Amino acid sequence: MARPLRVEYEGAFYHVTSRGNEKKEIFSAPEDYEQFKTYLYEAREKFGYKLHAYVLMTNHFHLLIETPEANLNRLMHYINGSYTGYFNRHNRRVGHLLQGRYKAILVDRDNYLEELSRYMHLNPVRARMVEKPEDYAYSSYRSYIFPAGESIVDRDMILGMVSNKPKEAFERYRYFTEREIGQEVENPLKKVYAGMILGEERFIKSALKRAKETWEGKQEISHRRKMNPVSGSEEILELICDAYKVPREEVLLKRGEIRNLAIYLLKRYSGLTNRQIGDMFGGISFSAVSKLVKRYSPRVAEDRKLGKKIEALLSNVKG
């Protein structure tokens, strides 16, 4: 069977899961869970990824990961390889611990990050291991409802999506999650497209384009650098300046509709991270970029005139 194609790029979000070989346990004692979290921490130090949520079940795990660098395969090889070595030594066993390669779904952050984190945190409840998600010790849920969170969990982005008031965010996330207990909630992962993408139509199209570029360049990838997304960002800015007849400085520094559109397009189509985009626009915070894009997305979906304007702009982007 052919290996699934990994789409890696800077600033990508993934839902990652691995299961025990033959559905057997991969965590058999409390120290196993803690050791796995140690490798999560070490991988963050080595590869600079962000762990937005996790849940470690008896025979599998779920991770919600962001990669500021395009290095998902390297960091997962480190995590899974290190833990397999530990588990085999600790239990005096040999052979495969995990069932094949890890599975990674590319996630549309703007539309699915909150929903996916909630679904993950409710896994132990659905499995009838606990009545409330906070009673389960081996997930990131407690970091989302109590101020004293785990150092390995980057919770600010998702909490910021729930509420722009930090003190209220913990309680609102609790309500957002626990109101689904006992309800028949559709698994968001059932919406995955082509076995590798979870997102709205435009995100899927953008991801498929990246996948095609990855596939076409696979043979020569070791001989050249991947395309720098900054070149795409410059082209998008130039197109906006031409379309609205304004100088670049006005787009980057003057608050208003044109700047909001530029930030939205750069986030959705350039491959830049929130922090990189914020730096371009005078040093606004990555969370401000996230909130702006989240507010702007419904407008694009509802305003046909704006949607057509964006399509016209993007049709002129090369590649």
Least confident span in 98-112, 251-265, 299-313 = 299-313
pLDDT at 227 over 80: no
H or E segment and range at residue 44: helix 30-47
CB 12 within 8 A of CB 66: yes
Give CATH 1.10.1750.10 domain extents, the chain. Answer: 228-314
Q: What is the average pLDDT across 104-108?
A: 94
**CA angle, residues 53, 97, 73, in degrees to nearest 5:** 50
Structure pTM?
Answer: 0.67
Sign for the pseudo-dihedral over CA of 31, 37, 43, 45: negative
| Predicted pLDDT at 303 | 83
* pLDDT digit string, tens, across residues 128-170: 999 999 999 999 999 999 999 899 999 999 999 999 888 899 9
pLDDT at 222 over 60: no
Q: What percentage of residues in the chain have a pLDDT greater than 70?
A: 90
Higher pLDDT, 102 or 209: 102
Report d(CA 10, CA 30) in Å as an integer.
Answer: 34
pLDDT at 223 over 60: no
Q: What percentage of residues in the chain have a pLDDT greater than 90?
A: 46
Report d(CA 126, CA 131) in Å as an integer.
Answer: 9
| Predicted pLDDT at 126 | 93
Q: What is the CATH number of domain 12-198?
A: 3.30.70.1290
Give CATH 3.30.70.1290 domain extents, the chain. Answer: 12-198
List all residues 6 or more positions away from 49 whose beta carbon is below 8 Å from its beta carbon: 43, 65, 66, 67, 68, 69, 71, 72, 75
At the top level of CATH, which class does the domain 228-314 belong to? mainly alpha
